Structure 1
Amino acid sequence: MIVAVCSLSGAPGVTSLATAVAACWPSTPLTVPVLVEADASGGDVASWYGIDLGREQKGLVPLAAASRVPVPVSAGAWAEAGVVNAVAAGSPVLDHAVELPGGLRVVAAPADPLEAGRAVAALAHNPALLRAGRVTVLDVGRAVPGSAGASLVRCADIVVVLADPGDVGHANRLRVCAPVLASLKEDGVRVGLAVAGTCPHPDQEVSRLFGLPVWACIPHDPAGAALVRGEHRPPTRLRDRWAAWRSQRRDPDGMEWMPLVKTAKSLAELCDDFSGLGLDGQGQNTTAVSAA
């Protein structure tokens, strides 16, 4: 399954949201979520975590090169054949991923936009490689219609559009791109909004205006955003300190006191439910996930 996270105007935290969703995905022995930075403007994760892609010989560029060869046997087929490490054997995406602290696997993009753009374009010619694993979360960044990133979006099963309807530019871009998003739904792709920023309109009105369900309301959470970037930043707001204390009494290793983590977990579970329900895009009721 491919879950694409993108924006239509700028990229208001697309990488942070995609990383958090992949990290919070409900994984199983045969469901190892992998984050793929497919942003043609360049990647951030390698810089955040100090990854030397050249030394590691992993990342988006080698994955794009591997997309030029036939996709190997799927992980499910390996498992049926009795291969013990079925996930790794059947997923070239995992072969090109590095493991971040905490266990998240990431195929990081180079920071150079020219190099990243070429890799995204090559991958867009053979996106079937992304299905060799069980769950691939794509960070597409800004999905410009007609671009290689937009081509990858069309290959996804679920598309999360991060937008700020309270911003005039974002709202106008959503209206202009409504036919493109509608065509995705007609092709059987589930499309929903993740609302960022301060929106003056309720979720139901946003859904009615743009013809898309609101799946998540992304909170302003500096501590959660810092955690996603690999930084440790203790909570400063009184309510955050109180929430952290209460949460850590129940689960010392838990991070759900952070609004961003809590929201990303709910969004990941929602997308995971979609993969199991097998409902078409037209029959989906609006589901809002929010954290304050």
Structure 2
Amino acid sequence: MRQIVALGSLKGAAGASTLALALAAAWPLGGAAAPVVVEADASGGDLAVRFGLSDMAGLLALAAGARQPGAERDLESCTQEVAGGLRVVVAPSGTDQALPSVAEVAACLPVLRGDAGSEGTVLLDLGHLGAAPSRELARAADRLVLVARGSADALAHVAARPEWLEGIRPELAVVGKCRYSESDIAQALEMERDRIHLLPWDVRAAEAFAGTARVTEGRWRRSPLARAAFILARRLAGADAGVARGGLCGELAQLGSRALPSQLLGGSAALRSLEKGGAQ
């Protein structure tokens, strides 16, 4: 069965989606299938618009078939590939569709784990861990990574962990600028030192995962974000120290160089105006 690694934040937009994609790009090469990033943010997804993908073939389809016979084999058919070789299952943009889809998947975990012959890892991007289905998935995962910014106020939300996290020993990924050391954070948050991971932000690489820039495979491999993501990915994968890290397959060319999908523009004057302004 597949391993489930859940990523989520206790406060605001901490960068869980970017980290999930970075982990997928840096995942250690050990002969197993490349990980799949499943966007399961109950507030709505971003990856479909960001990468110009269809959200009808993603989490919506996975949730729709969750209670049907053979649902444990559906994940691959709901997966799309992004330029660069990353594999993703995208969520619908609106909460009205995303929340019930996440709830359905939470109630039917075999759609993520697969059957006895399924291999690999699901990187489950839960976004903000506010909705009940998101918390259920976080608790059901094999590994949980809490994602937080490096400011004192952001880390305070991790220190004041809610009751539903009782009994879970999460990893903590601190993204972006941080004035504190891993030891300082571990002591303040009463966590083990080896569960604290500082991820320096590489603006260019982060912009590529956000859909506003390009990054080549060589540039990615030299990125401090890539190095930090590989260290965390190796821990999450339980890989040996000598295993090689994964890499982007060629250039990661995202939505930043393309027009917004025409199907989005058709029904929205605001988006048409946005696209017109971006073309100037």
> How many angstroms apart in 2 are the aligned matches of 1:271 and 1:100?
23
C-alpha contact 2:28 2:239 (8 A) present in aligned 1: no
Percent of paired sites with the same residue: 32
Q: What's the offset of the Cα at 1:71? A: 4.9
Task: Indicate the larger mover: 191-200 or 60-69.
Answer: 191-200
Corresponding residue of 1:143? 129
> How many angstroms apart in 2 are the aligned matches of 1:127 and 1:211?
31
Q: What's the offset of the Cα at 1:26? A: 2.2
In structure 2, give the amino acid aligned to 1:261: A
Q: Deviations over 1:117-164 (max 9, x none)?
A: 1100111111222111421000000112x6110100111111111113
> How many angstroms apart in 2 are the aligned matches of 1:126 and 1:42?
19
Corresponding residue of 1:222? 203
1:209 to 188, 195, 198: 188
> How many angstroms apart in 2 are the aligned matches of 1:175 and 1:159?
16
The structure-2 alpha-carbon separation of the partners of 1:219 and 1:165, relative to structure 1 and needing over 3 Å to count, comes to closer
C-alpha contact 2:7 2:126 (8 A) present in aligned 1: yes
Q: Deviations over 1:224-257 (max 9, x none)?
A: 11222344347xxxxxxxxxxxxx9xxx746221
The structure-2 alpha-carbon separation of the partners of 1:206 and 1:254, relative to structure 1 and needing over 3 Å to count, comes to same
The structure-2 alpha-carbon separation of the partners of 1:14 and 1:216, relative to structure 1 and needing over 3 Å to count, comes to same
Q: Deviations over 1:160-189 (max 9, x none)?
A: 111135231x2332122164434223xxxx
The structure-2 alpha-carbon separation of the partners of 1:33 and 1:202, relative to structure 1 and needing over 3 Å to count, comes to same
C-alpha contact 2:177 2:201 (8 A) present in aligned 1: no
C-alpha contact 2:186 2:196 (8 A) present in aligned 1: no
In structure 2, give the amino acid aligned to 1:111: S
> How many angstroms apart in 1 are the aligned matches of 2:39 and 2:191?
25
Corresponding residue of 1:59? 58
The structure-2 alpha-carbon separation of the partners of 1:129 and 1:233, relative to structure 1 and needing over 3 Å to count, comes to closer
Corresponding residue of 1:5? 7
In structure 2, give the amino acid aligned to 1:4: A
The structure-2 alpha-carbon separation of the partners of 1:199 and 1:31, relative to structure 1 and needing over 3 Å to count, comes to same
> How many angstroms apart in 2 are the aligned matches of 1:171 and 1:202?
12
1:119 to 97, 101, 105: 101
Corresponding residue of 1:194? 173
How many pairs does the alignment contain? 233
> How many angstroms apart in 2 are the aligned matches of 1:104 and 1:23?
7
2:168 is equivalent to residue 184 of structure 1: yes
1:34 to 20, 31, 36: 36
Q: Deviations over 1:34-63 (max 9, x none)?
A: 000000111111111111334xxx100100
> How many angstroms apart in 2 are the aligned matches of 1:209 and 1:181?
18
In structure 1, give the amino acid aligned to 2:61: P
In structure 1, give the amino acid aligned to 2:144: V
SS in 2 for 1:139: strand
Structure 2 portions without partners, runs of 5+: 242-280
> How many angstroms apart in 2 are the aligned matches of 1:65 and 1:200?
45
TM-score (norm 2): 0.75
Corresponding residue of 2:244? none
> How many angstroms apart in 2 are the aligned matches of 1:230 and 1:263?
21
C-alpha contact 1:71 1:128 (8 A) present in aligned 2: no
In angstroms, what is the RMSD of aligned CA positions? Answer: 2.5
> How many angstroms apart in 2 are the aligned matches of 1:69 and 1:108?
20
> How many angstroms apart in 1 are the aligned matches of 2:201 and 2:32?
33
C-alpha contact 1:24 1:261 (8 A) present in aligned 2: yes
TM-score (norm 1): 0.72
In structure 2, give the amino acid aligned to 1:68: R
In terms of fraction of residues, the more strand-rich structure is 2
In structure 2, give the amino acid aligned to 1:272: A
> How many angstroms apart in 2 are the aligned matches of 1:72 and 1:230?
31
Corresponding residue of 2:258? none
Q: Deviations over 1:191-232 (max 9, x none)?
A: 110112433332112112223344421212210112223443
SS in 2 for 1:69: coil
Corresponding residue of 2:273? none
2:147 is equivalent to residue 162 of structure 1: yes
